[in-house]
A and B are shown apart, each in its own frame.
Chain A
């Protein structure tokens, strides 16, 4: 028995893609928009508009894969490209009537999808209808008119001269005339060429061709017949079956309103044989299942070194000319540039460059087929024997893993399958996300980690995103300042989407208000779900209650103050040295950490860093950001320790390069070892943090502000004593008499009254000083009661640079009812 390699799957003839390139229209000189901001480059607007094309999935339409910007408004469109343009067969081989009907039918199915989405192809021709080996067709390059906003963003006309409907010429090429019926005319010409097996008016020059098309308007008999006669094909015309002739005639109706639309034409009985039963699509987090998609192939191709730019250069579509040749002849003082026009013939290049896949095939040649079935757990011995060895990438840095094509192949395959099983596979997704999150599926995975429900889109549809509110001005001035280095977020489409999501959020959360920073918080979700605004909104809506509960209240000061206090306490817990220094120079979190926590770092880091940070955040809880804050300080520790107030605060006004992977590791480490109650807060969302009487409750802000060391709950102390006794030092500061009557097993006694706080030296605690000094990383729990001062002693330890000091919440008496007891002897109460 042999195990097939994956290659047949990858080598699917339809799994091929190519690229075209053109220039977007350049803005003249230094012009500003009405808001005083510079105009968005047209290529960026195009990138934004083109994104939606990637979501079009139809067997008769090539998939759009990517839109890339180059220098000087160059735009490159990458899309599936497979099969052969019909034009290559015309006059070379005969077409059967059935074949033509099938082509007509499938083209109409493709057009229908576009028209339903309010898009017009505009350039349909036999050059971009691709015939596949199996006889199906696929339309190529149907999105140009849409992405260029009806041609207004480019300075070349978007049309195929001969195939363009006459009314388009009559309305003028730059008019905003857009009627989907123009595509039906183009289809008519395509079909006429096929039926007559003749390239129409091939010998005419450009201007003559246009005149030809417009003179068809004067024909008062059959247009198809007239075309046939002009090409000496009248005999052939007569031989065609009536239904095909009628179909073509209908398409070539000179009145757009009398020309039938796609829906109507598709119902034509002559297509009865080619109809495929429509399959029902169900709204889910993930699309209908496919073993392997062309989007995945393109992603892996890029990881394996594929570079669209290089390919276009190799084929001569992109040529770099020496800069001296592009120096303008004249520059006016207000910035207008003259004499640097681009040669109009280079604005649009009709060539298509097929991307080579050979090196990818080679790279994946050794991968056996079963890799695509990672979820089969019960196998016969024979099959199991052929199982691929697991691809081991553990221990590699995240950056390397993310760029390893083979590792990503395994991850994407596994996780997409798990996503299809959501919500039943929720735990498995969580487990995998814990290892790492493949960037290709990040948007979907985040949505599942946030427990997004399947009907999220309907919910979003229902929200009012348009009524004017008093928040609008603030949202409008914030959006053009939000992560604008990113193409998607700076595109016109991106601005519109962000505005709608924010307005929807404000509308939906009447108990909250819009705080500056909410824009940054939304940005990562929009970036990941650019084509699914509703999902971005759903993620934001699930994210806020989980991680930023009550942070957006109109008066959020209590919530934020508490959070910042907890941050100070966590610094003290893990790094007393740093905490003492910052305390001495009055460097309070209020002065620098508000944007950190209010936006969960989305306002301070660039997007790519936020993504990695949030990959982990989503697996943790609302205390995690405090640990991130600590890890940032830890990275800058040396500089902070040697700096005064001004230098420290300047450091944070201009946050220096922070290594995000280090940051993630440090914060995960402290997050794991810190007892949960150290970071517990009054303002936590109870939905995610259930509390009992053995947890910390009821600490007001005033009280909290006085405490430099955190409290620890009875629950955590009991857990530590029972399961990790080696990791804890219990210091009982009650007086000796009560201590000897009853105490926690193994605790040491340092009566509060015996300690002199005059200087910060640990020796002042007496005989137990060495125990404390040599405790290392153990948690030090201070146990007292009403008689003892529960602030002075722990603060003293902190000032002596003792780490992990915390105070038992509620004091010794809370330990009495614990069963089984952890006390030396019980006393009757």
Chain B
């Protein structure tokens, strides 16, 4: 809306070499800070009064990892339970997911666990899942212990970090950690800007079939 502006800040510059594209989806209860994390990662900004997300929003960001350029195509989804029916449309075929909860609210952690279960059941089998405990700057109002979340993440093979979209703490790091963990074999290397990207979202295509073709 009116207050979205400002130049994009890239965490890393572009380099030559291998280019990989990955589709990443953000899931989690409403108002935990999904959109804020994306905004911080993509534009380096934070809005106290970030508008709620309806349906989903799409953004991209590119980071460099050694000699590889990793381009994230990010789907930021609506958090309200009701929009749940739309979620498969966005996580289908995703190679990575960040499941976000708010460390000051226990319920959102419970909801995050449900999302993890759903992803493990329904999404591509090789999907990289990261758990983000957001609003770390409000640690004095903490309701979810770090250890509790860490244990849960370990048990389920998830990346885990506490983040703050407000102070930028761990925001780039969590995306970077995901990029490191994603397979960057020949199959995934290729050019960006391919028109076929959108096709992976359509109902007819199923995740596994197209999961590997993100970079042709």
Contacts and interface: CB of A to CB of B under 8 A. Distances in A.
B85 A36 contact: no
Interface stretch (B9-17, B121-129, B190-198): B190-198
Interface stretch (A248-256, A601-609, A807-815): A601-609
- Max count, chain A CB within 10 A of own CB: residue among B48, B59, B195: B195
Interface in B194-211: 194-199, 201-202
B135 interface: yes
B54 A649 contact: no
Contact of A603 (B31, B51, B59, B194): B51
B110 interface: no
Nearest to B104: A36
A594 B80 CA distance: 14
A644 interface: yes
A36 B135 contact: yes
A477 B104 CA distance: 14
Contact of A516 (B3, B78, B193, B198): B78
Interface in A551-571: 554-555, 557
Contact of B54 (A513, A587, A594, A606): A594
Interface stretch (A272-280, A399-407, A480-488): A480-488
A500 B78 CA distance: 23
Interface in A202-256: none
B40 to A, nearest CB: 15
B65 interface: no
B54 A645 contact: no
A645 B198 contact: yes
B202 A586 contact: yes
Interface in A516-544: 516-517, 519
Q: Interface centre among B52, B193, B201, by most A CB within 10 Å?
A: B52
A382 interface: no
Given A515-B80, A591-B56, A606-B1, A38 B197 contact: no
A646 B52 contact: no
A653 to B, nearest CB: 5
B85 A557 contact: yes
B54 A646 contact: no
Contact of B49 (A484, A557, A644, A645): A484
Contacts of B53: 516
Contacts of B216: none
A646 B60 contact: yes
B198 A474 contact: no
B48 A37 contact: yes
B198 A650 contact: no
A260 interface: no
A821 interface: no
Contacts of A480: 49
B2 A606 contact: yes
Interface string A560-594: 00000000000000000000000011111011101
Contacts of A654: 4
A595 interface: yes
B1 A516 contact: no
B55 A595 contact: yes
B82 A554 contact: yes
Interface residues of A, number: 47
B51 A36 contact: no
B156 interface: no
A485 B198 contact: no
B146 interface: no
Contacts of B106: none
A42 interface: no
A199 B3 CA distance: 55
Contacts of B151: none
A585 B195 contact: yes
Q: Name the residue among A36, A482, A584 with the largest chain B CB count within 10 angstroms.
A: A36
A599 B53 CA distance: 12
Contacts of B50: 481
A478 interface: yes
A598 interface: yes
A36 B1 contact: no
Interface residues of B, number: 41
A41 to B, nearest CB: 12
Interface in A179-207: none
Contact of B80 (A474, A586, A599): A474
A588 to B, nearest CB: 7
A653 B58 contact: yes
Contact of A653 (B59, B85, B195): B59
A473 to B, nearest CB: 8
B89 A590 contact: yes
Nearest to A656: B4
A594 B82 CA distance: 13
B195 to A, nearest CB: 5
A481 B36 CA distance: 12
B52 A591 contact: no
A513 B197 CA distance: 34
A37 B48 CA distance: 7
B75 to A, nearest CB: 9
B177 interface: no
A655 B49 CA distance: 18
A599 B54 contact: yes
B143 interface: no
Contacts of A584: 195
Contacts of A484: 49
A481 to B, nearest CB: 5
B51 A646 contact: no
A516 B54 contact: yes
Contacts of A32: 138
A246 B48 CA distance: 59
B52 A516 contact: yes
A666 B13 CA distance: 42
A516 B35 CA distance: 15
Nearest to A645: B198
Contacts of B202: 586, 588
B78 A485 contact: no
B152 interface: no
A532 B127 CA distance: 52
A653 B57 contact: yes
Nearest to B192: A646
A646 B197 contact: yes
Contacts of B73: 646
Contact of B60 (A557, A587, A590, A650): A650
B141 interface: yes
B94 to A, nearest CB: 14
A650 B52 contact: no
Contacts of A482: 51-52
A307 B77 CA distance: 45
A605 B2 CA distance: 7
Interface string B1-43: 1111000000000000000000000000011000000000000
Given A484-B49, A585-B195, A606-B1, A591 B82 contact: no
Given A590-B89, A645-B195, A598 B31 contact: no
A485 B3 contact: yes
Given A516-B80, A605-B1, A644-B195, A477 B51 contact: no
Given A36-B104, A649-B58, A653-B58, A477 B30 contact: yes
A649 B198 contact: yes
Given A588-B202, A644-B193, A650-B60, 12 more contacts: A36-B135, A478-B30, A481-B31, A482-B51, A485-B49, A490-B49, A586-B201, A590-B89, A644-B195, A645-B198, A646-B193, A654-B4
8 residue pairs, one from A and one from B, having the closest CB atoms: A477-B31, A594-B55, A645-B198, A595-B54, A586-B198, A484-B49, A606-B2, A649-B58
21 contacts: A36-B104, A36-B135, A37-B49, A477-B31, A481-B51, A481-B52, A482-B51, A516-B82, A557-B85, A586-B199, A587-B198, A588-B202, A591-B55, A592-B58, A594-B54, A595-B54, A598-B55, A645-B196, A645-B198, A650-B60, A653-B58
